[in-house]
Amino acid sequence: MQVRQQETVVPASSPPPRAISLPEWLRTAADLVAALGTEFDADRERLIGLQERLRAERCHLAVLGQFKRGKSTLINALLGAPVLPSAIVPLTSIPTFLHGGDGLTARVVFENDKPDARFAGADAEALGEFLRQFVTEEANPRNRLGVEQVEVTCPAAVLQQGLVLIDTPGIGSTFRHNTEATLNFLPQCDAAIFVVSADPPITEVEVEFLKLVRGKLARLFFVLNKADYLDPDERRTAVAFLQRVLHEQAGFADVPPIFCVSARQGLAARQKTDAAAWEQSGMNDVEQRIVEFLLTEKTDVLQRALARQAADLLADVSHRLELTRRSLQLPLADLDARIQQFADRLVEIEEQRIVLLARLARDEERLAEAVAQRAAPLLPKCLHFLQRVVQESQERDNAHWTEESARAALADAIPSFFEREFGAAHQACDAELRVALQPHRRRAEELIATVQRIVSQLFDLRCDAAPKEIALTTADRPYWRTHRWVFAGSASIPPSWIDRLLPQRLRHARIRHRLTEYVEYLATRNVGDLRSSITDNLHASIQTFRDRLTAAIEQTIQTTRTAIETARRRRTEDSASVAPELARLEAALADLQTLRQHLAPLPQ
């Protein structure tokens, strides 16, 4: 490793003698670490990465509601422009993610690697017409275009603050399995707004949906839209009724506040820049008491986490500087003896690392087997469900029952059933995975702490470096996940001409026989696909954790070696430079200590 030629220079970017904000604090820390030498480049990159995380952090707010409740109009009001098509016709099964950006753009992502469709322009209505081609049932019935999701950027002020609005297909939409896909998606979001309206305030379908949603979100807000159609007494009655239903039927222990709005009036007010009308529409309360609260809350949590990580990183840098300084002060023979002792102890560390990875591999096999065991009872459950679908279709159509109508009923039922089962299986597997990885995480962190203690003991240093934490998962942006469940065989079996000549009883018996084989194929294939998908996710998660664990251990060992070897090389190559180098290290340590004291207090 090379050291930049600054042996007699105190780093130029000394921290200012005042409390500074976290972004400025991180920039100053990165500058200080950059001045230390190329062996600290990785630390500088990590500090820059923390700055990027702070800048890129987003608060994901899903908007839920039944058809014709005014979800899209509510979002358009927050944006201040008619970006989303209004639901005069039902929307199809596609979520729309709205991000902040310099202009109006849209990207339509398709399944099966089909090239994206894109829009860029300045006209919000033109963007709305572009989106209408893909997200409405009228233009894209049953999502025949194979759209996976839509991403929109908009220069709206509310999005520039870091909010991502997500217009979900919600409930009561064309495809029943959208409800299951929505339920699987919501835990990835920070919060959701559930939109109801005065006609009627809430339906049985919505109540059943809310029973399922209640435990999946940290925060759920309620908006009563179209409140402009009600007089003050009617509005109070509607709010009281809605709160009572949420408490008594949907199971909300605390009566949630209800925001009464007219999204239509709010959009008009924003387009006219009429602050008084915006306030009167009720949308100002939604923007300030929901959106701004969420952004502030999430930013505070993130800042505390990043400040802790940065402080731990600087403590580690200071520890290595102390190690280099101590190595420069030792007689050369003494230094060589301690280096050899450190190498000997690393043999033990490597043996423990191998044992740790072997235990992790055994747990991986056990978890994969648990997935298989969990999928086993799903096959008879699926068979029973699909057989019941066939039976109900026959009872419904009676004499007019055909194989085609039964297959259509199966095609309609399968996505909803398997999205629900996939969500439950994925949630159970994720919970088991976190529990299983915790002991491995602790052992790895103990192994890293052991390396730090060995160094401190060998070189007479304080062992005050913060313990390294190894993350179990990486928090990525939420993504909408649906699957192409199989609901058709490799080839449709046309009904035999003989069927048309047979009496109804015999004809139906032949159809039931063919459908029995068909149902067995569908159940076996989809259960197998579900098991394979969960298992693949499991292996990918464990591999990510394994890589992170190995990298953390190797990084601790390598940076320690570098600190010692840098000092030894300087001792042997140019003994005259030792005194200036010691002075530089003293100054750097003082600067780092001062910086750690000047971070402005963060919200608790």
H or E element in which residue 64 lies: strand 59-65
Q: Tell me how far CA of residue 427 lies from CA of 423, 538, 539, in angstroms.
A: 6, 11, 15
Whether residue 478 is predicted with pLDDT greater than 70 in this model: the reply is no
DSSP-derived letter for residue 187 is G
| pLDDT value, residue 465 | 53
> What is the Cα–Cα distance from 11 to 570, expressed in whole angstroms?
20
Rounded to whole angstroms, the Cα distance separating 355 from 252 reads 48
With both helix axes pointing from N to C terminus, report the angle between 403-458 and 378-397 in degrees, rounded to the nearest 10. Answer: 160
- Supply 153's token pair: 């950027």
Binned at pLDDT 50, 70 and 90, residue 500 comes out as: low
Kindly tell me if the per-residue pLDDT of 572 is higher than 50. Answer: yes
The answer to whether the Cα torsion of 177, 183, 186, 191 is positive or negative is positive
pLDDT of residue 368: 93
| Residue 2, pLDDT score | 40
List, for residues 163-219, the tens digit of each pLDDT value.
Answer: 889 888 767 654 555 677 677 777 778 888 999 998 777 888 889 888 888 877 778
Give pLDDT tens digits for 372-398. Answer: 998 899 999 999 999 999 999 999 988
Cα 546 from Cα 361, distance rounded (Å): 9
pLDDT at 154 over 90: yes
Torsion of CA 418, 424, 429, 432, to 10 degrees: -170
Which pLDDT value is given to residue 95? 82
Cβ of 274: how many Cβ atoms within 10 Å? 14
Mean pLDDT computed over 214-234: 88
| Of 354 and 567, the one with more pLDDT | 354
Residue 475: the pLDDT is 44
Confidence of residue 3 (pLDDT cuts 50, 70, 90): very low
What is the C-alpha separation between 340 and 349, in angstroms, rounded?
Answer: 14
Q: What are phi and psi of 450, to 5 degrees?
A: -65, -45
Amino acid 76: pLDDT: 93
What is the structure's pLDDT at 470?
61
- Residue 278 above 80 pLDDT? yes
On the question of pLDDT at 552 being above 90, the answer is no
Residue with tokens 């904000």: 21
Distances (CA, A) of 580 to 6, 318, 320, 352, 465: 9, 18, 18, 40, 26
Model pLDDT, residue 473: 54
Q: Measuring CA to CA, which residue among 186, 177, 251, 172 is closest to residue 216?
A: 186
pLDDT of residue 496: 56
- What whole-number distance in Å separates Cα of residue 414 and Cα of residue 542? 30
Which residues, including other chains, have CB under 8 Å from residue 248's CB and lie 6 or more apart?
none
Is residue 493 over pLDDT 70? Answer: no
Mean pLDDT of 427-431: 84
pLDDT at 434: 87
The one-letter amino acid at 297: E
Indicate whether 460 pLDDT > 90: no
What pLDDT does 301 receive?
79
Between these two residues, 502 and 564, which has the higher pLDDT value? Answer: 564
Q: Which domains does the chain possess?
A: 1-56+282-329 (no CATH), 59-271 (3.40.50.300), 332-472+503-573 (no CATH)
Coil, strand or helix at 158: helix
CA pair distance 575, 114, nearest whole angstrom: 65
State the pTM of this model.
0.69
**What pLDDT does 10 receive?**
39
pLDDT of residue 30: 95
3-class state of residue 6 by DSSP: coil
Q: Are 104 and 153 in contact (CB under 8 A)?
A: yes
Q: How many CA atoms lie within 13 A of 275 on its CB side?
A: 0
pLDDT digits (tens, 9 = 90+) for 18-49: 667 888 999 999 999 999 988 899 899 999 99
User: Cβ–Cβ contacts within 10 Å for residue 170, how many?
Assistant: 24
Percent of the chain's residues with pLDDT above 70: 86
pLDDT at 487 over 80: no
Q: How many CB atoms lie within 10 A of CB 60?
A: 20
| Predicted confidence (pLDDT) at residue 491 exceeds the cutoff of 50 | no
- Mean pLDDT score across all residues of the chain: 83
CA quadruple 336, 339, 344, 345: dihedral positive or negative? positive
Per-residue H/E/C for 254-279: CCCCEEECCHHHHHHHHHHCCHHHHH
Sign for the CA dihedral angle at 568, 569, 571, 576 comes to negative
* Residue 481: pLDDT over 60: no
Q: Which two tokens mark 126?
A: 């033109």
Span 72-130, pLDDT tens digits: 899 999 999 999 887 555 565 678 899 999 999 999 998 878 899 999 988 888 998 89
What is the structure's pLDDT at 399?
81
Q: What strands, in cross-sheet order, belong to the sheet with 191-197?
A: 117-121, 104-110, 147-154, 96-100, 163-167, 59-65, 191-197, 220-225, 258-260
